């Protein structure tokens, strides 16, 4: 069966933008796909019309649009189904609210929630979104992001990007610790009075696709308690990662 040339070209542009860890300019896209600028611009405009591609108004470079999240909705449903048995075990073991958070552009969003049975608890709604860099879940997602993606997120979320900025130094220190420890925790951030601990979930290609999270009030989930929960949260994230096909020995259950 004969293929549609323009569709093939548009798909090649979409994949090119999706597979790069930084926004791309028109000339770079044109060279990479082997098309002249006029044709490339026409295809980019078509993809923009469907919100599959968007242009950064400041840099004039192109990145994925919000509609790509709709295409990934089925994947998130599969991820929820795969993760749920492991999250449920963690929920029974901790008796705290257990969540699964996924990256979504400049945000992170809760796609699964198992609420604590405590009268005093911290239970976000499914679909609740926060800026991707905040909190324990944000730390583990940012800890494994590419450098160019980190800079893009900081810039788009109106955070300083200069390397000598005190805030940037603090964030990078936090993300480095999350990479080394395999988890991150937060107290009073982003919500006052709440605490959380999170560990990264990897897919078969080694990309971080989610964070397994335990949340609760900070009067119960103190710093000491969060550290005690770290092995269980890491184990849960490792089990989900293995179920997704990730085989890194550092995430071996019990390791």
* CA pair distance 170, 11, nearest whole angstrom: 39
In angstroms, the CA 194 to CA 216 distance is 6
For residues 101 and 158, membership in a common domain is answered with yes
With a cut of 50, say whether residue 170 has pLDDT above it: yes
Residue with tokens 């705290």: 96
Which of 68, 85, 100 is the last residue before a domain boundary? 68
Q: What residues contact residue 117 under an 8 Å CB cut-off, 6+ apart?
A: 95
Q: Which of 46, 68, 90 is where one domain is finished?
A: 68
**pLDDT, tens digit, for every residue of 33-43?**
899 999 999 99
Domain coverage including residue 112 = 72-251
79 and 42 in a common domain = no
> Two tokens at 197?
């601990």
* Overall number of domains in the chain: 2
Q: Does position 169 have pLDDT exceeding 70, yes or no?
A: yes
Residues 63 and 82 in one domain: no
Higher per-residue confidence, 24 vs 160: 24
Q: What is the pLDDT of residue 163?
A: 57
Phi, psi at residue 138, to the nearest 5°?
Answer: -60, -40
Distance CA(247)–CA(148), nearest Å, equals: 26
Last residue of a domain, one of 68, 93, 117: 68
Percent of the chain predicted with pLDDT > 70? 88
Report helix, strand and coil shares of the chain as percent, to nearest 5. Answer: 45, 20, 35
Same domain membership, residue 100 and residue 54: no
For residue 249, what pLDDT band results from cuts at 50, 70 and 90?
Answer: very low
Same domain, residue pair 38 and 152: no
Band of residue 162 on the pLDDT scale cut at 50, 70, 90: low
Instruction: Give the CATH number, domain containing residue 182.
Output: 3.30.450.40
pLDDT for the residue numbered 66 = 67
Q: How far is residue 40's CA from residue 31's CA, in Å, rounded to a whole number?
A: 9
Question: Residue 237's pLDDT is what?
Answer: 96
Q: Is the separation of the CB atoms in 108 and 100 below 8 Å? A: no
Tens-digit pLDDT profile for residues 2-32: 446 788 888 889 888 877 767 889 999 999 8
Helix segments in the chain, DSSP class H: 5-19, 26-33, 37-49, 68-71, 73-94, 135-143, 147-156, 166-181, 223-243
Tens of pLDDT, residue by residue over 143-156, are 998 887 887 787 77
Q: For the segment 71-104, what is each residue's pLDDT rounded down to a tens digit? A: 555 556 678 888 999 999 999 999 999 999 998 8
Segment among 70-74, 175-179, 251-255 with least mean pLDDT: 251-255
């Amino acid at each position: 069966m004969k293929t549609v040339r323009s569709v093939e070209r548009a798909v090649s542009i979409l994949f090119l933008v999706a597979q790069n860890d930084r926004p791309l300019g028109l000339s770079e896209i044109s060279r990479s796909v082997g098309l002249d600028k006029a044709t490339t611009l026409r295809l980019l405009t078509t993809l923009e019309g469907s919100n599959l591609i968007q242009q950064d108004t400041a840099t004039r470079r192109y990145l994925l649009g919000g509609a790509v999240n709709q295409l990934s909705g089925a994947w998130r449903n599969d991820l929820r189904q795969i993760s749920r048995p492991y999250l449920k075990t963690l929920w029974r073991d901790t008796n705290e609210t257990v969540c699964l958070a996924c990256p979504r552009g400049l945000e992170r969003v809760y796609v699964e929630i198992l609420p604590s049975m405590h009268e005093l608890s911290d239970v976000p709604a499914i679909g609740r979104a926060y800026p991707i860099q905040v909190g324990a879940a944000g730390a583990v997602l940012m800890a494994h992001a590419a450098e160019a993606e980190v800079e893009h997120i900081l810039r788009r979320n109106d955070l300083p990007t200069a390397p000598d900025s005190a805030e940037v130094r603090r964030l990078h220190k936090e993300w480095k610790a999350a990479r080394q420890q395999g988890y991150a925790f937060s107290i009073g951030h982003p919500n006052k009075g709440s605490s959380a601990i999170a560990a990264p979930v990897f897919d078969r290609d080694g990309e971080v696709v989610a964070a397994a999270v335990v949340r609760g009030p900070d009067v119960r989930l103190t710093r000491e308690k969060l550290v005690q929960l770290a092995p269980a949260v890491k184990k849960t994230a490792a089990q989900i990662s293995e179920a997704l096909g990730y085989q890194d020995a550092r995430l071996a259950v019990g390791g």
